[in-house]
């Protein structure tokens, strides 16, 4: 079975995202490292302390869905917004880890975090390249 470019990018996005869920994402001085699946499960608590990084996940899903439907402009917009929201973790330097709303400082960004970022960048590249190609500009 030969993989087409569209399938290859879709597979790359899925593999990167799935890999980030199983890897440690952030390191803290005061608590054990947390892997991606744990953040996916507790991320909805973020808005309690004004953190919205978790919402990059549904934006990625929307971007992926639109890319699969060949709506590459919309996919690119969702993906760019998702990547911007993902980077808020670095800008802020702390995350909410429980329902108290307190912000736990991050001491290191681990492989799971960078795989999450890579999944967003790959989706942006896939969307952008296909948008340009579909417009016949290259």
What would the pLDDT profile of 35-80 be if each residue is shown by its tens digit? 999 888 888 777 777 788 889 999 999 999 999 998 999 999 999 9
Q: Tell me what the pLDDT averaged over the chain comes to.
A: 87
User: Residues of the chain with pLDDT > 90: what percent?
Assistant: 51
Q: Residue ranges of the domains in the chain?
A: 5-27+39-134
What would the pLDDT profile of 123-137 be if each residue is shown by its tens digit? 999 998 888 888 875
In the prediction, which pLDDT does 107 show?
93
Q: What share of the chain is helix, strand, coil (3-state, %, to 5)?
A: 65, 10, 25
In the prediction, which pLDDT does 6 show?
65
Length of the chain in terms of residues written: 138
């Amino acid at each position: 079975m030969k993989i087409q470019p569209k399938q290859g990018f879709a597979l790359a996005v899925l593999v990167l995202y799935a890999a980030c869920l199983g890897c440690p994402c952030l390191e803290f001085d005061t608590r054990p490292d947390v892997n991606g699946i744990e953040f996916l499960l507790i991320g909805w608590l973020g808005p309690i302390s004004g953190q919205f990084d978790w919402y990059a996940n549904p934006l990625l899903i929307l971007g992926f869905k639109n890319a699969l439907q060949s709506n590459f402009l919309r996919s690119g917009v969702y993906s760019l917004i998702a990547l911007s929201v993902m980077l808020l973790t670095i800008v802020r330097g702390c995350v909410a880890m429980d329902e108290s709303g307190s912000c736990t400082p991050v001491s290191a960004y681990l492989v799971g975090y960078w795989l999450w970022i890579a999944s967003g960048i790959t989706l942006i590249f896939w969307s952008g390249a296909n948008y340009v190609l579909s417009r016949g500009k290259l």
